[in-house]
Every structure is written in C-alpha cells, then in structure tokens.
C-alpha cells in the first residue's frame, strides 16, 4: 500500500499497524462483518486529519447487498477494503491488482467521487470479481479532473 498510493495520488501513506475487528460486529449467521461498523471503528482509531484506510482479511456486507469489496465513509475520512472475495478464482498477481483497484476506488469515494459509467475507470461499480478484473487501475479523465479540483494530482500512470 505504501508504494502505489503516493505514486497514484501524490500523498504520503503511513501505516498505523494492526487493528483487530471485534467479534461483536460480526454477523454470526452470515459470517460477515457489517462494513459500516468496521468503518466507524477505523474512524475512531485514526488521527483527526488523516485518512483512515483498513485493508482487512475479512468478508463484509452492507444491508441490501450480499457483500462488498470495500466501503468508504467520506464524512469520517475512512476507506475499507475486504480481501476475502477478491481472492476468488485468481492467481497472486491478479489478486494484488484487484486489491490495488479496490483501494484506489474506495479512496476515490473518500474524496467525493461517485461511481463512474466508464467501465474502464477504477471508479466504476463492481458487483463481481470479474467486473473488478475488467476495469483498469486508472481514473478516467472526468474523475481525474474532479480530483484535480480538490488539489489531488493523479499520476499519468493512473489516468486513462
């Protein structure tokens, strides 16, 4: 994480260390964590001015969806990515690529970006790992422009 976020979005990343997700926010019937509760936990643990990013070896959901790959809480300055489903039907290299895409996607939401209609844009909605595989790890011109208006300069490597 520490190497591609600064390359992509031009800001420093400092690892905060390990965060245990309490069993109280595990839905024992579904065997999944409630993603919104995890985001609140991250917000509670992060410093005031920092963006909280949690990459968890877990499965999570939000009400109304069977699962989520991640969840952003822009008002809390938090992005979460859940790894369990990203590992499905793939090799190590593609798994890492999926994680990169989902981290950038959730950080885009933290900065106020919505889902993009451009299927190649990293901000497009993914309802399956196959849809994650189809999109690129780059932001489309429209999303790059919106991030630029916020003072976030996207590297050419992460722009389409």
Active site amino acids: 106
DSSP secondary structure code for residue 66 in this structure: S
Separation CA 32–CA 24 (nearest Å): 11
Separation CA 29–CA 9 (nearest Å): 39
Separation CA 99–CA 105 (nearest Å): 10
**Gyration radius of the chain over CA positions:** 15
């Amino acid at each position: 994480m520490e190497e591609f976020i600064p390359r992509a979005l031009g800001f420093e990343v400092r690892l905060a260390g390990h965060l245990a997700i309490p069993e109280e926010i595990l839905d024992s019937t579904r065997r999944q964590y409630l993603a919104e509760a995890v985001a609140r936990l991250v917000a509670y643990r992060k410093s005031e001015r920092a963006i909280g990013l949690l990459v968890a070896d877990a499965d999570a959901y939000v009400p109304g969806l069977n699962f989520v790959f991640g969840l952003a809480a822009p008002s809390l300055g938090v992005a979460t990515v859940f790894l369990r489903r990203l590992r499905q039907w793939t090799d190590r290299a593609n798994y890492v690529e999926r994680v990169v895409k989902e981290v950038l996607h959730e950080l885009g939401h933290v900065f106020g970006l919505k889902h993009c209609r451009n299927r190649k844009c990293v901000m497009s909605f993914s309802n399956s790992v196959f849809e994650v595989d189809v999109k690129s790890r780059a932001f489309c011109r429209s999303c790059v422009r919106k991030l630029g208006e916020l003072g976030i300069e996207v590297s050419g490597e992460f722009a389409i």
